[in-house]
Structure 1
Amino acid sequence: MPLMNTLSAIADGMFFAQGSTLPRNLFLLVFVSAASICTAARAAEQLPVSPVYKGEIRRGADGKLRVEASTDPLKPAVDDSAKPATMRVGSQERITTISEAAKLARDGEVIEIRPGSYRGQPAVWTQNNLVIRGSGERPVMLADGKSAEDKAIWVIKGGNVRIENIEFRGARVPSGNGAGIRFERGHLVVTRCTFVDNEMGILTSNLADMTLEVRDSEFSAAPHDMADLHHLLYVGAIGKFTLSGSRFEQGYKGHLVKSRARENIVRNNMLADGMSGRSSYELEFPNGGIAYVLGNVIGQSAGTDNPVLVSYGAEGPRWPVNKLFLVHNTLVNDFHTGTFVQLWDEKFPGGIESWIINNLTVGYGDLNQPAHGRFEGNQSALRRDLIDYGGVPVRLNSSSPLRGSVRIPGQANGMDLIPAAEFSFPVGTKPIRIGNSLAPGAFQ
């Protein structure tokens, strides 16, 4: 047999040449048995065992290969922010200005901006699938009296853009709407960025197929201008707006957050104006839409010009579906009077469906039961019964009788209303574990 002849030759040439005392026939028996078992095992398995996917292999900055984990073994997750830079910008780089980088960039570029202050370097980004990130200490874009298209420090026209770890300061334009970022088309993700002293932090256009996501970012210090209303974040009539893990303070006359989007998810943020703030509404949805307002701290200062914290529907409907879900928020009013939530029900044919559940109110003001929807689990607390967090009284002390006093809120339209995370000062969120009983408000 060919197999036996082969094994015999291997035994003669490799095994016994080394002076082994094992009988040749016994060796062949063991060898053949092992080979037969392996052959039978392979025959039983018609297909090879599928390998376990652990992620993509990439070369790190240190030159070593590493595996980047994926959360879905069937669809490897690729975080564009982790891709290596294809363009670097900085005083010591070949490309020294942001304006030049925006002109040279191509679709799919990963642009890395070195630390430093970039004065008077406005940019219009027209490319698709861009990642623009600051490396190390956050680089600062200073308007210094200049703007792109008389609109903003940066104008975003590309179809899919991610901006990470950049600071925008001092935007001013003749119209009074100078933005740190003017977002005009596609899908924009802004993460770990800072917006300070701009007429508008972010301002969007009004296309229904646009999506804006803002994560773990800071907005503050609206200009003290009596002639115009400057909002820290102004979202136009776009398709979807998501805001999470972000902090807003020191508004002036305008709102902290204003959104006309069709769908809004505002979750685990701190929208607290602070002692020196003088914003109007802290959160406004003037045209309704679907708004999930979950697990936020919303705080109004004693210097406000508007006693309402959250306003919904003041300008009447724009979208076919209009619902407000205000669940597990901590609402703090330092003004001498006020309304925690204002629903402009009379401007909507058939009224506004509103779920106002498990919120904690602190200070003066009314939280009125809506005409349509659910109203349950809402509680009030005195400042002395709360622990300050970032200078705002938000967390019930461990002995509070309000702990465990509310029920799990359930779901709405497939959206889980249970507080699975909470804001983490100064920006960001952290996951929390939930038991069988809950406390009202944004912190468990």
Structure 2
Amino acid sequence: MTRHAHAALRYGLPLLLAWMLLAGSAIAANLLQVGPMRTIKTIAAAAQLAGDNTLIEVDAGNYVGDVAVWTQANITLRAVGGRVRLQANGQAAEGKAIWVVRSAKLTVEGFDFFGAQVADRNGAGIRFESGWLVVRNCSFIRNEMGLLVNNDAQAVLEVENSEFAFNARPDGHNHNLYIGRIAHATVVGSYFHHAQTGHLLKSRAALNHILYNRLTDETGGSTSYEMEFPNGGIAYVLGNIVQQGLQTENPVVISYGAEGYVWPVNQLYLVNNTLIDDLPTGGTWLKVKPGADSVLAVNNLLAGPSRLQPTTPGDFRNNFNVDRKTFGAGATDDYRLRSDSPLAGKAIDPGSANGQNLQLQREYIHSAKSQVLDIAPHNPGAIQHLKTPTP
């Protein structure tokens, strides 16, 4: 029963409605509006004025060199009337990032983080140091590091419907998304592409939900790993489209445990992903360092010459090698199986693990979105809706 339901039983519905109206007025009072035509002109000024439990609405437009540190609790920043573009232009909060976040909870929606550069060459769109960060419908483009998460064993990160691309320092080696040793990382419906030498996604979190994303190197990308979990942990990798390009600097697509296991539980679940390898001789789909507690790989589609060869004991079943032609024309963005594919309907029930249902609930929609499935999952790979072949 919810807190509001308990209150209704205890105080009666009229008193509850009155309480909710008062609470709504209090929340509305904690509203700051930012924009060139507003009293508050800059986001930096709003960061100084805001208290806990504040909604900050920022008018669409370009905000140049407008950097900030966020330490208040329960802050929501929302773009209004279009995108808010934060262009670093040589500025950085605490010499680290466009934004530095140390907040019990901060939510940001509709912001673009562009061009962060700092002396140690780890300039990030956001440096998340502690607390709980929710990122929705944002982009991190051409920073030295897209989103950088510090080591904090209690921290929680949620990323939804966001884009990460072209983040690299001049000599490479940085990542589109780097997650330190935190409690929990969730990444859903997001688009990662064109890393330069570094990884598309790297996470050291104890618990990872990497669901319904597109992580594709694409033409001109020189990604190392498309996805890495260097310290293990529990990783649910479900319903993703993952592509290794011709200019990759490491033939391994997904790496797990390469730097040693540090968490008490180390389990990898690789379920219903569409994996594409454009290396002519093929790379390695999955490399797992010995010592993992369990590995499950089921219902994956593998478009490339290599087989999914287990590098550690585990449950590897119902994974299919296919040719890129399986997806038909336009496969650069469209990885649906053709409706006449012999693999249609060949998925099996992956079951559950740790109380987590491993069946797909959503599917990725390009660009940087996901949608709830309106059909039961039945096909191998990430995309459940089929493509009708053209005559």
Say whether the fold is shared (TM-score over 0.5): yes
Residues 76-114 of structure 1, C-alpha deviation per residue, up to 9 Å, x if partnerless? xx9xxx978710111111111121111111111100111
CA 1:220/1:388 → structure 2, altered by over 3 Å: closer, same or farther? farther
| Partners of 1:253 and 1:325 in 2: CA distance | 26
CA 1:114/1:396 → structure 2, altered by over 3 Å: closer, same or farther? same
Aligned-residue offset at 1:366? 3.3
| Partners of 2:165 and 2:265 in 1: CA distance | 32
Secondary structure of 1:208's aligned partner:
strand
| Partners of 1:438 and 1:370 in 2: CA distance | 27
Counterpart in the other structure of 1:22? none
2:200 to 240, 256, 266: 256
Counterpart in the other structure of 1:319? 263
Counterpart in the other structure of 1:29? none
Counterpart in the other structure of 1:438? 378
| Partners of 1:220 and 1:310 in 2: CA distance | 18
Amino acid at match of 2:323: L
Aligned-residue offset at 1:223? 3.1
Counterpart in the other structure of 1:358? 299
Counterpart in the other structure of 2:140? 195
Contact 2:265–2:293 at 8 Å: present in 1 too? no
1:412 to 2:353 alignment:
yes
Residues 360-407 of structure 1, C-alpha deviation per residue, up to 9 Å, x if partnerless? 000233311354331111001111121467724521100000011231
Counterpart in the other structure of 1:213? 158
| Partners of 2:352 and 2:68 in 1: CA distance | 43
Aligned-residue offset at 1:310? 0.5
Aligned-residue offset at 1:136? 1.7
Residues 200-222 of structure 1, C-alpha deviation per residue, up to 9 Å, x if partnerless? 11111111110000000011112
Counterpart in the other structure of 2:287? 342
| Partners of 1:275 and 1:352 in 2: CA distance | 36
Residues 341-360 of structure 1, C-alpha deviation per residue, up to 9 Å, x if partnerless? 11111xx3xx4410000000
Counterpart in the other structure of 2:389? none
CA 1:193/1:390 → structure 2, altered by over 3 Å: closer, same or farther? farther
Counterpart in the other structure of 1:381? 322
Counterpart in the other structure of 2:73? 128
Amino acid at match of 2:343: L
Amino acid at match of 2:299: N
Residues 230-250 of structure 1, C-alpha deviation per residue, up to 9 Å, x if partnerless? 100000000000000000111
Contact 2:167–2:195 at 8 Å: present in 1 too? yes
Contact 2:138–2:161 at 8 Å: present in 1 too? yes
Amino acid at match of 1:152: A
Q: Residues 281-300 of structure 1 correspond to what in structure 2 (within 5 A)?
A: 281-300=225-244
Contact 1:253–1:280 at 8 Å: present in 2 too? yes
2:37 to 89, 92, 101: 92
Contact 2:168–2:198 at 8 Å: present in 1 too? no
CA 1:224/1:211 → structure 2, altered by over 3 Å: closer, same or farther? closer
Contact 2:144–2:169 at 8 Å: present in 1 too? no
Contact 1:164–1:190 at 8 Å: present in 2 too? yes
Residues 180-209 of structure 1, C-alpha deviation per residue, up to 9 Å, x if partnerless? 001111111000001100111111111111
Contact 2:122–2:169 at 8 Å: present in 1 too? no
Counterpart in the other structure of 2:3? none
Residues 33-58 of structure 1, C-alpha deviation per residue, up to 9 Å, x if partnerless? xxxxxxxxxxxxxx9xx97xxx9999
| Partners of 2:18 and 2:334 in 1: CA distance | 45
TM value normalised by structure 2: 0.89
Amino acid at match of 1:441: G
| Partners of 1:99 and 1:262 in 2: CA distance | 33
CA 1:179/1:322 → structure 2, altered by over 3 Å: closer, same or farther? same
| Partners of 1:103 and 1:260 in 2: CA distance | 32
Q: CA RMSD in A?
A: 2.4
1:178 to 2:119 alignment:
no
CA 1:418/1:83 → structure 2, altered by over 3 Å: closer, same or farther? farther
Contact 1:389–1:395 at 8 Å: present in 2 too? no
Residues 275-309 of structure 1, C-alpha deviation per residue, up to 9 Å, x if partnerless? 12111101000000000000000111111111111
| Partners of 2:91 and 2:73 in 1: CA distance | 25
| Partners of 1:355 and 1:83 in 2: CA distance | 48
Greater RCO, CA 8 A, separation 6+: 2
Instruction: Choose 324-333 or 270-279, whichever is displaced more.
Output: 270-279
| Partners of 1:175 and 1:158 in 2: CA distance | 24
Contact 1:390–1:425 at 8 Å: present in 2 too? no
| Partners of 2:174 and 2:29 in 1: CA distance | 37
CA 1:353/1:101 → structure 2, altered by over 3 Å: closer, same or farther? same
Give the aligned length.
369
1:232 to 2:176 alignment:
yes
CA 1:181/1:173 → structure 2, altered by over 3 Å: closer, same or farther? same
Secondary structure of 1:99's aligned partner:
helix
User: What are structure 2's unaligned runs of at least 5 residues?
Assistant: 1-8, 385-391
Contact 1:84–1:110 at 8 Å: present in 2 too? no
More strand by share: 2
Counterpart in the other structure of 1:117? 62
Counterpart in the other structure of 1:395? 336
